């Protein structure tokens, strides 16, 4: 199958490698023609050092690479999704299936990434998400992800395209839950890094991750997601890997903030998209709009955008009014 991966960051490159290894014809597109040329010549992406790109994988900066592609993967950072989709949309085949692999919520519109892709390309969209660091997928370490779409056949097409001995893909009709889990876990990972930077240990991480998952599910259900989705790969799976791994950009940024570095300096130090920063603003505003209680997300927003002290905000969270853990289970 002829495919294109739009976005040559680490994740887009890892997915392009996966598709190529599965026997597909793959074009890896970069918005920067000069970068595409450099990667073409070196056969190595600086975002994945040490990983050689096979000669049969075409790296290009030409928007027309999507012509004739049955499947087009959108892997650009969330803030660039609209612009990138507008660039390639005129060249898409009428029956092309779009695959959104970026995690985030657009500010102001509160749209998920698949909704933006669909709005700009007028094509069906499958969300591919889950606990998957690009570095490990590129090295073919066993990984599991979720292909989510209301159209079962489209989800199965993506499942078949990416499935391999080391990359296991499950399907789900719950694209809302799948994408929200992927977007909001980045906010919690920023918080997890922050408490680590403050000097706290495993106990603090555990309460943050589990209560963070409760908030993610709470907002997801309010938006029509299936609560069970958050107990799977796109929920707790992605949350664990992003909150605990050295590969996580969101966690690394949080550590720097917890150690006292300013937000913008921390983002620049990490040197790649920290999606949790953008998602925190969107999630906080969305929670207010829907009247959903999300104290951890709100705490993240206060630290990231209003420059509140991370230690003070953590203390406020810990001193909240006591309550039962489960909201929908009563005493017998």
Q: State in words which class domain 176-318 has.
A: mainly alpha
pLDDT at 142: 98
Q: Mean pLDDT over all residues of the chain?
A: 95
Q: Is 110 exposed, middle or buried (CB count within 10 Å of its CB: 0-12, 13-18, 19+)?
A: middle
Q: Are 21 and 14 in contact (CB under 8 A)?
A: no
Backbone φ, ψ for residue 73 (5° rounding): -95, 125
* 2-173 and 176-318 share one fold: no
So what's the pLDDT on residue 144? Answer: 98
What sign for the dihedral angle of Cα 260, 262, 263, 268?
A: negative
- CA 326 to the chain's CA centroid: 27
Looking at residue 287, its pLDDT comes to 95
For the chain, what are the domain ranges?
2-173, 176-318
Could you confirm whether 185 is annotated as catalytic? yes
pTM: 0.92
Whether residue 27 has pLDDT greater than 90: yes
Q: Which CATH number fits domain 2-173: 3.40.50.720, 3.30.310.10, 3.30.9.10, 3.40.50.2300?
A: 3.40.50.720
Is-contact 99 125, C-beta < 8 A?
yes
Exactly one of 152, 185, 227, 289 is catalytic; which is it?
185
What is residue 247's predicted lDDT score, i.e. its pLDDT? 86
Q: How far apart are CA 27 and CA 57, in angstroms?
A: 6
Tell me the CA distances in angstroms from 133 to 147, 152, 167, 279, one per residue in order. Answer: 16, 26, 12, 19
Q: Is it the case that residue 272 has pLDDT exceeding 80?
A: no
- Compute CA 187 distance to the chain's CA centroid, rounded to the nearest angstrom: 11
Rounded Cα distance between 246 and 273, Å, is 15
Other Cβ atoms within 10 Å of 302 Cβ, number: 18
Instruction: Count other Cβ atoms within 10 Å, centred on residue 214.
Output: 15
Contact 158, 97 (CB under 8 A): yes
- Give ∠ CA 297-301-307 in degrees, rounded to 5: 145
The more confident residue out of 37 and 168 is 168
| pLDDT tens string 76-126 | 999 999 999 999 999 999 999 999 999 999 988 999 999 999 999 999 999
């Amino acid at each position: 199958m002829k495919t294109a991966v739009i976005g040559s960051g680490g994740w887009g490159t890892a997915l392009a490698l996966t598709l190529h290894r599965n026997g597909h014809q793959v074009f890896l597109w970069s918005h920067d023609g000069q970068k595409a040329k450099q990667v073409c010549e070196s056969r190595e992406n600086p975002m994945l050092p040490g990983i050689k790109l096979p000669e049969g994988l075409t790296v290009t900066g030409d928007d027309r690479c999507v012509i004739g592609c049955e499947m087009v993967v959108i892997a650009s950072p969330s803030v660039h999704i609209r612009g990138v989709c507008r660039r390639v949309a005129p060249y898409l085949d009428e029956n092309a299936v779009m695959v959104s692999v970026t995690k985030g919520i657009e500010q102001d519109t509160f749209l998920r990434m698949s909704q933006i892709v669909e709005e700009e390309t007028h094509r069906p969209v499958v969300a591919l998400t889950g606990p998957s660091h690009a570095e490990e997928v590129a090295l073919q370490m066993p990984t599991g992800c979720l292909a989510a779409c209301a159209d079962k056949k489209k989800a199965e097409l993506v499942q078949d395209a990416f499935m391999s001995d080391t990359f296991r893909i499950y399907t789900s009709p719950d694209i809302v839950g799948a994408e929200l889990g992927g977007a909001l876990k980045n906010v919690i990972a920023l918080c997890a890094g922050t408490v680590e930077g403050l000097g706290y240990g495993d106990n603090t991480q555990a309460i943050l991750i589990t209560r963070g998952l409760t908030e993610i599910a709470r907002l997801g259900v309010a938006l029509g997601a299936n609560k069970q989705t958050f107990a799977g790969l796109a929920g707790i799976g992605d949350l664990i890997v992003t909150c605990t791994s050295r590969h996580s950009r969101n966690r690394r940024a949080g550590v720097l903030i917890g150690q006292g570095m300013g937000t913008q300096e921390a983002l620049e130090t990490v040197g790649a998209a920290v999606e949790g920063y953008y998602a925190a603003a969107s999630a906080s505003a969305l929670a207010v709009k829907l009247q959903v209680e999300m104290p951890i997300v709100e705490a993240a927003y206060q630290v990231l955008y209003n420059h509140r002290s991370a230690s003070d905000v953590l203390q406020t969270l810990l001193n909240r009014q006591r309550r039962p853990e489960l909201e929908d289970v009563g005493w017998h």
